[in-house]
A and B are shown apart, each in its own frame.
Chain A
Amino acid sequence: MSVASDSPVHSSSSDDLAAFLENELDSDSDSDSSSESFPSEEAEDVANHRSKRRKLEYVETIVEEKIQGVTFSGEFSKASSSKLPCEHPGSFGELCFKCGRSLKEEETGVSFGYMHKGMKLTEEEVAKMRDSDNKVLQRKRKLCLVLDLDHTLLNSTVLRDLRPEEEYLKSLTHSLQDGSGGNLFMLEFMNMMTKLRPFVHTFLKEASELFEMYIYTMGDRPYAEQMAKLLDPKREYFGDRVISRDDGTVRHQKSLDVVLGKESSVLILDDTEHAWPNYKDNLILIERYHFFASSCRQFDHRFQSLSQLESDESEPDGILASILKVLKQTHSLYYEGGGGEDANGRDVRLLLKQVRKEILKGCKVVFSRVFPTKSRPEDHPLWRTAEGLGATCATEVDASVTHVVAMDVGTEKVRWAIREKKFVVHRGWIDAANYLWKRHPEENFGLEQLKKQGTGTEEKTTNDVTLEK
């Protein structure tokens, strides 16, 4: 069966008509925009570029002008201003949306497919929009917040990856029509099951008052839209600000290129640090949410998933609650003292660092058998993390030291700490503070716990901490 022969055959008469009309309407619109009369030299110049018919008309008007001896300075200035070339601020379907010209051959800037199909904007235009947006946001005392979906706000699994011990979940799902309040959804048409992170509804509601929120996911467009519907059934939080991997500008990376917020006022919440190589300072790293067993397997974790344990993160003091506190704190620092014009010079990246520094403020930490002896301790990631959290680090013990971080009980520093009644913790204490943005009770991180767990990985320890509560 051939399809080629199915194509329509065009009658030539209608083609001619269409072409004629196109010309007609074109020349009409031209005469609207450029003014009717020019001084003679200018007019001749322009007339050369026009069709014969137009040329004739111009010659006629020039003759008239000369006879009447009238000056046309007013019209001249208007005409010359309309002749400025269009800077093509952006395009819709490869048509410049300012002058209507086809821009097929010219390069046309950043694609904004998530706003509308076929939409592109140049860098300058984006910068201009960011500026004007920023003013509006400042007036409303808001900042921008970019949210990741998977492992940050929710966890999804393909239905066939459900373990037998997870089958009980199927009876607990909420209907999609119901919309509000549900946490667990079955999306049969996508063969997926999605669990929203506890506290996410409150989180979005409260954050939406302080932030203009975007979704930015590495999932594809239909998935992103479906998840946005689950999180925001009334479409009051995200609007059209849902960005999927199809809309990104760099492959396998996320970038603020397509986010209409100034870098100094955008916060990012994501579980994957390397997705944002150029925006580490804007990023709030969140501990991964593994609800389904398949998700644990994906990341090669050996522990049981929350669904297998028939448990979940705690609602009132889970991680999203602590992150919300951090967001509120950063926001209030940004708009401290009235905000408005003052806030112009402020930068969330610096404020975020400031907030982090409060977490372990006043702690002086000494490490024992944590770093290899050959390397400089200042270069170790854990040392840097601790400093980023506001703790002072030292290599030798003295009276001002408050904490000894060790991996083994038998060291001299640990014995000293026990004698002097200082805190002895394992490195999980710093990791937990790093991920959960708060100082944890030291008792939970004693070296005895470490022994009980055997050789636990750091992920394991932090995860256990969240489970305990």
Chain B
Amino acid sequence: MFFHIVLERNMQLHPRFFGRNLRENLVSKLMKDVEGTCSGRHGFVVAITGIETIGKGLIRDGTGFVTFPVKYQCVVFRPFKGEILEAVVTLVNKMGFFAEAGPVQIFVSKHLIPDDMEFQTGDMPNYTTSDGSVKIQKECEVRLKIIGTRVDATEIFCVGTIKDDFLGVINDPAAS
């Protein structure tokens, strides 16, 4: 699920960036530092959308670095247990498959793939129904439900299921 929230961060800036472009330098450093990272509380920071306030800088003794408290608006993405997501399949093996929804990787075990789908090995490993009408392979888009998440300081692990109504393959670029 996406959220638009305000976060705060203390930015340290090297003295060489002081001058007319201080603000721009600060913002571009913030983007570089923050976008694409993952925090346990908020999930992945997808994009910074704006700066609320930049507080007063505090000069550090000895180094000359200056610390600015910056409040910024950003879009974050965090998966929740029970959430329905659309994701792209990235890896299929005999234990199940992995799918990515943006930065989040979700594992769907073969226990949670409908029983009528069977694993087929080969150069494009896949799960296929006995009549061959539905096929899950790399690059497929699937709709899945998250059944568990574990949020580390830097990583989010998710496990999901497609064994429920209205879940499963929604689009297969290889087939069309």
In the bound complex, do residue A95 and residue B148 qualify as a contact, i.e. CB atoms below 8 Å apart?
A: yes
In the bound complex, do residue B12 and residue A21 qualify as a contact, i.e. CB atoms below 8 Å apart?
A: no
Question: For the complex, what is the distance from the CA of A115 to the CA of B107, rounded to whole Å?
Answer: 12
* Interface of chain A residues 1 through 47 with chain B (CB within 8 A): 1-2, 5-11, 13-15, 17-18, 21-22, 25-26, 28-29, 32
In the bound complex, do residue B150 and residue A5 qualify as a contact, i.e. CB atoms below 8 Å apart?
A: no
Question: For the complex, what is the distance from the CA of A102 to the CA of B112, rounded to whole Å?
Answer: 17
* Stretch of A85-93, A184-192, A308-316, A341-349 with 4 or more beta carbons under 8 angstroms from chain B: A85-93
In the bound complex, do residue B123 and residue A9 qualify as a contact, i.e. CB atoms below 8 Å apart?
A: no
Question: For the complex, what is the distance from the CA of A14 to the CA of B41, rounded to whole Å?
Answer: 9
Q: Name the A residues within 8 Å of B91 (CB-CB).
A: 116
In the bound complex, do residue B95 and residue A90 qualify as a contact, i.e. CB atoms below 8 Å apart?
A: yes
In the bound complex, do residue B157 and residue A97 qualify as a contact, i.e. CB atoms below 8 Å apart?
A: no
In the bound complex, do residue A100 and residue B78 qualify as a contact, i.e. CB atoms below 8 Å apart?
A: no
Q: Name the B residues within 8 Å of A119 (CB-CB).
A: 95, 107
Q: Considering residues A7, A14, A15, A118, which has the most beta carbons from chain B within 10 angstroms of its beta carbon?
A: A14
In the bound complex, do residue B112 and residue A98 qualify as a contact, i.e. CB atoms below 8 Å apart?
A: yes
The answer to whether residues A92 and B1 also contact, given A5-B67, A25-B82 and a CB cut-off of 8 A, is: no
Secondary structure class of chain B's binding surface, majority of residues: strand
CB distance from A387 to the nearest CB of B (A): 40
The answer to whether residues A92 and B107 also contact, given A11-B5, A97-B159 and a CB cut-off of 8 A, is: yes
In the bound complex, do residue A6 and residue B10 qualify as a contact, i.e. CB atoms below 8 Å apart?
A: yes
In the bound complex, do residue A100 and residue B11 qualify as a contact, i.e. CB atoms below 8 Å apart?
A: no
Residue A281 at the B interface, CB < 8 A? no
Interface contacts (Cβ under 8 Å), in number, total 123
Residue B81 at the A interface, CB < 8 A? yes
The contact of A97 among B63, B109, B121, by CB within 8 Å, is B109
Interface residues on B, range: 35 or more
In the bound complex, do residue A118 and residue B157 qualify as a contact, i.e. CB atoms below 8 Å apart?
A: yes
Question: For the complex, what is the distance from the CA of A121 to the CA of B93, rounded to whole Å?
Answer: 14
In the bound complex, do residue B11 and residue A98 qualify as a contact, i.e. CB atoms below 8 Å apart?
A: no
Residue A448 at the B interface, CB < 8 A? no
CB distance from B157 to the nearest CB of A (A): 3
Residue A396 at the B interface, CB < 8 A? no
The answer to whether residues A28 and B41 also contact, given A11-B5, A97-B159, A116-B91 and a CB cut-off of 8 A, is: no
In the bound complex, do residue B81 and residue A29 qualify as a contact, i.e. CB atoms below 8 Å apart?
A: yes
Question: For the complex, what is the distance from the CA of A102 to the CA of B123, rounded to whole Å?
Answer: 33
Q: Name the B residues within 8 Å of A26 (CB-CB).
A: 81-82
Q: Name the A residues within 8 Å of B3 (CB-CB).
A: 14, 17-18
Q: What per-residue 1/0 map shows which CB atoms of B135-161 lie under 8 Å from chain A? A: 000000000011111100001011100
Question: For the complex, what is the distance from the CA of A28 to the CA of B81, rounded to whole Å?
Answer: 10
In the bound complex, do residue A92 and residue B9 qualify as a contact, i.e. CB atoms below 8 Å apart?
A: no
Which residues in B have some Cβ–Cβ distance to A below 8 Å?
1, 3, 5-12, 34, 39, 41-42, 60, 63, 65, 67, 69, 78, 80-83, 91, 93-96, 98, 107-109, 111-112, 121, 123, 125, 145-150, 155, 157-159, 164
Secondary structure class of chain A's binding surface, majority of residues: mixed
In the bound complex, do residue A18 and residue B42 qualify as a contact, i.e. CB atoms below 8 Å apart?
A: yes
The answer to whether residues A240 and B93 also contact, given A25-B82, A26-B82 and a CB cut-off of 8 A, is: yes
Q: What per-residue 1/0 map shows which CB atoms of A63-79 lie under 8 Å from chain B? A: 00000000000000000
In the bound complex, do residue B95 and residue A115 qualify as a contact, i.e. CB atoms below 8 Å apart?
A: yes
Residue of A nearest to B148 (CB): A100
CB distance from A355 to the nearest CB of B (A): 28
The answer to whether residues A22 and B80 also contact, given A11-B7, A97-B112, A97-B159 and a CB cut-off of 8 A, is: yes
Residue A56 at the B interface, CB < 8 A? no
The contact of A5 among B10, B39, B98, by CB within 8 Å, is B10
Q: List 13 A-B contacts (CB under 8 A).
A: A1-B65, A6-B9, A9-B7, A9-B8, A90-B95, A93-B107, A95-B148, A95-B158, A96-B159, A97-B112, A136-B121, A235-B123, A239-B125
Question: For the complex, what is the distance from the CA of A260 to the CA of B125, rounded to whole Å?
Answer: 16
Q: Considering residues A14, A15, A93, which has the most beta carbons from chain B within 10 angstroms of its beta carbon?
A: A93
In the bound complex, do residue B7 and residue A94 qualify as a contact, i.e. CB atoms below 8 Å apart?
A: no
Identify the 3 closest CB pairs spanning chains A and B, nearest first. Answer: A100-B148, A93-B157, A100-B147
